[in-house]
Chains A and B, each alone.
Chain A
Amino acid sequence: MITPVMIDSTIKVLIDLILATAAIIIVKRDMLSLISTYSVQSFLLFSMALVLYAENGSTMLLYLAVLTLVSKVIVIPKVMEKVQKKLNIKRDVEFHYLSPTSALFTSMFIILVVHLLLSRILAELQLSNMFFLGATVGISLMFMGMIIIFSRKQTITNIVGYLTMENGVLLFSLFLTELPMIIEVLIIVDLVMLTLMATILAFGINATIDEFHARLNPFIKISESKLFGVKQNTCGAESRASPAGKAVPNMQKFGGDMK
């Protein structure tokens, strides 16, 4: 009853749904739905591992499937929800360099380019179609994860982007049989992320990685320097070169007039 064609089609369906979840992560603004979309994506990967196991029979895939289920569908989303609750951030509204629509167009373009390049490079290896598809989508998922990291500000969204990248790598390696150390590698990557989140939980940072966003708010510097008579130099050496540092003297001029 289960023919190779059916397995191929199921793989195709799963891959498309995975791409859709990645697109949803790029576009969505609501933090909790980002995390749940990520666990749906990991669950799809888990099903893909099971389907491939049914086709191949290699036990490594079974271990991978269980590992994915435990760590990516259950543990990591739970930890992220805890972090989100502690930081109390509900939405991640601002987009950096790419609006959602252009980000999706860019991803579409990237998928095409990746496919072109891969077909040129891997042509002589005569790989199966499914492997090729897995490679293309895996690498495209990595780039889409990078788009997420670049275009968003909140740390949790960046973490979800990184985890999407990792899912892309996992997707790619699912199509290989007997990749050594893949399980250890994935454990390490998850470890990295868990360390990150434990750090955030423990120290409770203010959620944006890029501290230079403080630059965009010159009024903070003015109020500090006016109220406390603090020299702008001690606001940290690196802020010297920032526009806020340059903006302050001008504003102080006006402020001085208004006194």
Chain B
Amino acid sequence: MIMQLYAGIGLAILVLILSARSHKTMNALSKIHAAAYLLITIYALMYTALPSYYLADRYFFMDHLGAFEVIISALLFFLSAVYSKGYVEGLMKIGELDRGNLKLFYTAFNLLLIAVTYSFLSNNLALFWIFAELTTVFSAMLVVTLNAKKNIGAALKYLFMASTSMLFSFVGLIFLFTLTGHALGAGTLNWDILMSNAAQLSPKILFAAFIFMFIGFAAKSGVAPFHGWLPTVYAKAPSAISAILSGSVSTVGLYGIIRAYAIVHQTSASYSASLLLMAFGFFSVAVAAFSMLAQINLKKLIAFSSIENTGLMLIGTGIGTPIAIFWMLFHMLAHALTKALLFFSGGVMHRQYGSMHIDRIKNALKLQPLASLGIIIGCAAIIGMPPFAIFLSKLYILLQAGMFSNWMLFGLLLLLLVAAGAFAMYLTRMFSQTGDDIEGAHVENYTPSRGMNASIIVLIALIFVLGVFFPQYLTDLLNSIVSELGL
């Protein structure tokens, strides 16, 4: 019943958007769409017994992890829709977005929401693969809607790198299928069957399949060395979309890695898999931290911070203890919200100054107080300062890393320090540019719309609240996820 609800609402909204005429209608429909998904999932979480399976071959299912992810994404999409109202108007005013592309924008936006939701709710890994590819296609479509030529190059690069790596991941799926065919008699790609029979699968082949699958999903979530597309795409996409890319689409890749890791964890290949994840995670953090030092474009800086956080989450997954997984899941939530805050505030800056280049942003505090506050709080939050949410997850993941290996902890701390330093450098430079601007004297004050202000304020509130009050319900939810994953 739940699946049909999702599908039905999704289709209805799409049809309505295709026939809508004004921006306001389309935007309102998107908000309704995201809000509806959010409410349905919360309802399912609270009132139905999970995990529950849908469809004849049990291709879809909702367990606590899936529900958690859908809630995060739906929330993000909702806030982004609220923010888009004013942001897209602004884009159209300065000509960066054509009116004709508006329908494409909102269609792709809602299709992306559907694809993301269904990918989180897939039981069958091949189905998950299909929806992950669809998210790539739709997000590329979203990037292309802007009128810049460089956007097309960025979108093509993204499509290529993501799709090429997903092909590898499909080969991994084929291996898995062959393996189960021999071990269990009938080949299957359903995650629940794989989980319950994991012990019978040969560890060597399972690990080989895991490596292939990891390649694809890692490229999707921006793990180094497959991260080449990420800074360009995040920087070129409209800020509302960048928030979604960072919070939802990257999470699709990470979700795949977690599911695959849960299977491998039960066999003797678990140690090698953990090492693999931690190595790549550490490498991502290193690459991101050092690249951040040289950045002058605000959105690229934030993009590299996404890579860094994905690396941290990989390390958390690799460590594999229940505490680490618990806090890694929390980190997903916190990171999505904080990144959204950063991108939204950055978007306001972009509208104000017409560019994300640091030399152009002058007198920020005076001209855009709320957005500047958003950026400052966002940067403080993302490097892990209390009382914001990321502090908790970073602290515990680092503690767990320390229990695993002291050297890794030391290295991580250094790298995180480098990243924090990069942020500090950027912020200092950005906000200390005041005084008389000889050319910039004609910078008009841009008043962000109510929606944009509201979403920024809501996000600040959310990450503050999450950091200070940790609701019991969330603890229970995350604990049940950890136990479902068998970790």
Contact = CB atoms under 8 A, between A and B. Distances in A.
Contact of B159 (A169, A196, A211): A196
B10 to A, nearest CB: 18
B163 A189 contact: yes
A216 interface: no
Interface stretch (B48-56, B144-152, B253-261): B144-152
B198 interface: no
A90 B465 CA distance: 60
Contacts of A139: 171
B140 A195 contact: yes
A89 interface: no
A206 B130 CA distance: 30
B164 interface: yes
A108 interface: no
Interface in B125-176: 126-127, 129-130, 133-134, 136-137, 140-141, 144, 149-150, 152-153, 155-157, 159-160, 163-164, 167-168, 170-171, 174
Majority-rule SS of B interface residues: helix
B171 A189 contact: no
A39 to B, nearest CB: 20
B94 to A, nearest CB: 15
Nearest to B356: A237
A185 B156 CA distance: 20
A247 interface: no
A114 B481 CA distance: 38
Nearest to B148: A236
A179 interface: yes
Contacts of A241: 294
Contacts, number: 120
Given A180-B126, A185-B130, A209-B156, A121 B167 contact: no
A149 B164 contact: yes
Majority-rule SS of A interface residues: helix
B296 A237 contact: yes
Interface stretch (B177-185, B402-410, B469-477): B177-185
A205 B157 contact: no
A121 B209 CA distance: 10
A194 to B, nearest CB: 10
A172 B171 contact: yes
A238 B300 CA distance: 9
Interface in A135-157: 138-139, 142, 146, 149, 155
Contact of A195 (B141, B157, B170, B359): B141
Interface in A160-183: 162, 165-166, 169, 172-173, 176, 178-182
B187 A178 contact: yes
Contact of A203 (B127, B152, B174, B235): B152
B130 A209 contact: no
Given A149-B164, A209-B157, A240-B296, A188 B133 contact: yes
A11 B419 CA distance: 55
A199 B155 contact: yes
A172 B153 contact: no
A100 B300 CA distance: 36
B365 interface: no
A126 B395 CA distance: 48
A251 interface: no
A233 B157 CA distance: 24
A125 B182 contact: yes
B164 A165 contact: yes
B153 A173 contact: no
A123 to B, nearest CB: 9
A162 B164 contact: yes
Contacts of A176: 174, 177-178, 181, 187
Given A149-B164, A237-B357, A192 B137 contact: yes
A60 to B, nearest CB: 13
Contacts of A233: 357, 359
Nearest to A143: B168
Interface residues of A, number: 47
B168 A172 contact: no
A142 B140 contact: no
A196 B163 CA distance: 11
B111 to A, nearest CB: 12
Given A149-B164, A169-B167, A238-B300, A192 B150 contact: no
Central interface residue in A179, A189, A240, A241, by most chain B CB within 10 Å = A179
Interface stretch (B18-26, B61-69, B84-92, B200-208): B200-208
B152 A199 contact: yes
A121 B140 contact: no
Given A179-B187, A181-B127, A125 B294 contact: no
Contacts of A173: 174
Nearest to A155: B156
A257 interface: no
A191 interface: yes
A165 B168 CA distance: 9
A1 interface: no
B153 A205 contact: yes
Given A121-B208, A172-B174, A176-B174, A191 B137 contact: yes
B288 to A, nearest CB: 16
B449 interface: no
Contacts of A155: 156
A238 B297 contact: yes
Central interface residue in A172, A192, A196, by most chain B CB within 10 Å = A192
Contacts of B174: 169, 172-173, 176, 179
A122 interface: yes
A237 B294 CA distance: 11
Nearest to A166: B167
Contacts of B134: 188
13 contacts: A121-B204, A124-B202, A125-B202, A172-B174, A176-B181, A179-B174, A180-B177, A182-B126, A189-B163, A195-B137, A195-B141, A206-B149, A238-B300
Which 7 pairs between the two chains have the least Cβ-Cβ distance? A181-B126, A237-B297, A237-B357, A211-B153, A121-B208, A205-B152, A188-B133
Given A169-B167, A172-B171, A185-B129, 13 more contacts: A125-B182, A125-B202, A166-B167, A169-B170, A172-B174, A181-B126, A181-B130, A185-B170, A192-B137, A196-B159, A199-B155, A203-B144, A210-B157
